Amino acid sequence: MTVAMLMKNTIHAATKVFDKRLLPSWNIRYLPLKLLNPVPSDIEIAKKQKPKDIDVLAEEIGLLPEEVNLYGKKKAKVSLDVLNRLKNVDDSKYVVVTGITPTPLGEGKSTTTIGLAQALGSQLNKNVFACVRQPSQGPTFGIKGGAAGGGYSQVIPMDEFNLHLTGDIHAITAANNLLAAAVDARIFHESTQKDEALYSRLVPQKKGIREFSTIQIRRLEKLGINERDPDKLSPEDRTRFSRLNIDPDLITWQRVMDTNDRFLRKITIGQSPTEKGRERVAQFDISVASEVMAVLALTTSISDMRERLGHMVVATSTTGEPVTADDIGVTGALTVLMRDAIQPNLMQTLEGTPVFVHAGPFANIAHGNSSILADMIALKLAGKFGPDGFVVTEAGFGADIGMEKFFNIKCRRSGLRPHAVVLVATIRAIKMHGGGPTVVAGKPLAKEYSEENLELLEAGFSNPRKQIENAGYFGVPVVFALNRFANDTDSEVETALRLARESGAIDAVCASHWSHGGAGAVDLARSVIKAAESKSNFNFLYPLELGIYEKIETIAKKIYGADGIELLPAAQAKVELYTKQGFGNLPICMAKTHLSLSHQPELKGSPRGFVLPIRDIRVSAGAGFLYPLVGTMSTMPGLPTRPCFYDIDIDPHTLDVTGLF
């Protein structure tokens, strides 16, 4: 009898462990807020809230200890093994937060993402995850400041969030620059060695044995060379294998660093006498503009990431062939450098709601969304016992850029289908689109933005109306979220909400999460729940089989409201080249200003009667998209006269960081 009882208890305990691994139960403790009026600075609020230890939060949301890699006490990386453990769990509801065309000050997408997640969790008891991008060090020390949300809707600790976090951007920088160094080194060695010497050094004898490495075999396969004994290759095949014949004038891979340094926008490299006169003009981009970052954001596994890194095109040969990271032989090393970066970073909101902070691709030349993997893991963790939980993910810039790329690129790659769109707006931005004075970061706002002006508001609603229409092209219901400021009058708020409903939003809600945390976004959260339960007929804007020209034209006409597009000579040549090279079926990632629906930042509202000029087209073959350049895109920001770093310091006694915002 005793043995039988022991066996029964063992089976019962094993069953409980199995159930926990399969369907983790959330038993989460939310953190109370101590609201102050006026609202203190972001960093003051963040410092006064004591976050839970991250291992405690991880246990609350059903993660197992072996799935959590701690980085100190307040942040951790989460293993991709979670996806396999929870593969039979239904995904939760999937909500994307976007915005109208913003002012240079931003309209609060990140703050709304966090505030909405706090409301769904602490106020309405939903299993909920927020997923946001990791900010670059560039704006943190430049002019914009951090990106942890704001007020009483933030990710904490905000200093760790905005600085090194777990080193993902450093890993991207290292991988990117290893590849850049490999490209120039390969050109140098090919130009200074004869065929046989080059081949012998690429495939050396080791302990009397000569063999190809795994990545060299991939190059042989690409070239259609079947021989695997290095000594039996013909002289012609040895030359084909060894020589990439990179055209130095057609190198597209640049070096990166995560600092705003305008003097690195164009440089000359190779000036040392040891490089034997092989100088060339090059440049630095900011790290988040690296294609390695875009690959990280769009990958679905470590093996998928390795393949994508290998497919990245770094240059063109003298015969017009694309040269990839695989050809250079560096793919495995890049993957090793990115081994830890692929794991999403777990943090929390001011109210103790879980947040994944992962990837931060440049929103102009890339797709400006956090990672697919973060969303996938969050959807499983929040999806206990079916799709009643929520994942709130943010798309960068206005809906014409971030949301369009979220649907056409990110969702196409992930296979995930969103249930609702939250379109964030402010009275300030709507008035600007109605003809209000220019808004400039760092300068006081004109009186039109602090005084009631319904005429400006109604005129400017052409922009939110167009962005609501844009979401409609994808068949997803829209909730209009008005981020209310202190100077906004009741009449202005009521007018904006009425116009949003008349424009096709399933609901329009005013929210005060910046000043009240989750409690200020309860109405918004309830509207999002209803929207997510309504009928959704998701579809893409275009099929991939459509030609490059036609895909660009579809985006320009439908999303921007253009009459058509004009391919300038360089762009026309790229259409022909990329179609020939087999890149014609990739989705399109438009690189244009985020300050207007058109290509001209000064054109506000919803411009009409313009033709969109396409200056050039480039390929991100590893990330898996083409990006047409509309105007000039700076990939290395510069520091202003008075950067944010003037205010940033550390208390030498407590080690507390001050001055971040």
The answer to whether the beta carbons of residues 312 and 322 sit under 8 Å apart is no
Q: Is residue 111 flagged as an active site residue?
A: yes
Give the three-class secondary structure for 209.
strand
Six-digit token pair at 374? 């973060």
The answer to whether the beta carbons of residues 371 and 146 sit under 8 Å apart is no
Q: Is residue 263 flagged as an active site residue?
A: no
Residue tagged 């206990």 (tokens): 384
Q: Is residue 551 flagged as an active site residue?
A: no
Residue tagged 């393949």 (tokens): 307
Catalytic residue among 74, 75, 93, 109: 109
Residue tagged 């402010």 (tokens): 426
Q: Is residue 571 flagged as an active site residue?
A: no
517: left (phi over 0), alpha (psi -120 to 50) or beta: left
Task: Tell me the three-class secondary structure of 500-549, residue by residue.
Answer: HHHCCCCEEEEECHHHHHHHHHHHHHHHHHHHHHCCCCCCCCCCCCCCHH
Residue ranges of E strands in 402-495: 420-425, 478-483
Catalytic residue among 397, 406, 461, 480: 397
Six-digit token pair at 557? 């006409």
Catalytic residue among 147, 148, 363, 500: 363
- Report in angstroms the alpha-carbon separations of 263 from 92, 258, 284: 47, 14, 9
- For 414-451, b/e burial (b = at least 16 CB within 10 A) is bebebbbbbbbbbbbbbbbbbebeebeeeeebeebbee
Catalytic residue among 98, 101, 103, 111: 111
Closest to 152 (Cα-Cα) out of 657, 518, 660, 526 = 518
Give the three-class secondary structure for 401.
helix
Rounded-to-integer distance, Cα 112 and Cα 501, Å:
19
Six-digit token pair at 236? 């012609």
- Report in angstroms the alpha-carbon separations of 475 from 418, 468, 472, 599: 10, 11, 5, 26
- Report in angstroms the alpha-carbon separations of 562 from 130, 495, 610, 611: 34, 28, 5, 6
Give the three-class secondary structure for 332.
helix
- Report in angstroms the alpha-carbon separations of 372 from 388, 394, 463, 588, 656: 20, 12, 29, 18, 33
C-alpha dihedral sign at 439, 444, 448, 452: positive
Pairing of strands 322-324, 76-78: unpaired
Q: Which residues contact 508 (CB under 8 A, 6 or more apart)?
A: 479, 480, 482, 496, 497, 498, 500, 501
Catalytic residue among 188, 485, 540, 661: 485
Q: Is residue 412 flagged as an active site residue?
A: no
What are the φ and ψ backbone dihedral angles of 517, each rounded to 5 degrees? Answer: 65, -150
Pairing of strands 616-620, 625-629: antiparallel
Q: Is residue 485 flagged as an active site residue?
A: yes
Catalytic residue among 93, 144, 551, 604: 144
Residue ranges of E strands in 297-389: 313-317, 322-324, 345-349, 354-357
Q: Is residue 514 flagged as an active site residue?
A: yes
Task: Tell me the three-class secondary structure of 620-658, residue by residue.
Answer: ECCCCEEEEECCCCCCCCCCCCCCHHHCCEECCCCCCEE
DSSP run (H or E) holding 402: none
CB-neighbour burial class of residue 455 (10 A; exposed 0-12, middle 13-18, buried 19+): exposed
54-61 contact pairs (CB < 8 A, 24+): 54/346, 54/347, 54/348, 57/28, 57/346, 57/348, 57/352, 57/354, 58/346, 60/26, 60/27, 60/28, 60/29, 61/24, 61/26, 61/28, 61/127, 61/129, 61/354, 61/381
Residue positions annotated with a catalytic role: 109, 111, 133, 144, 363, 397, 485, 514
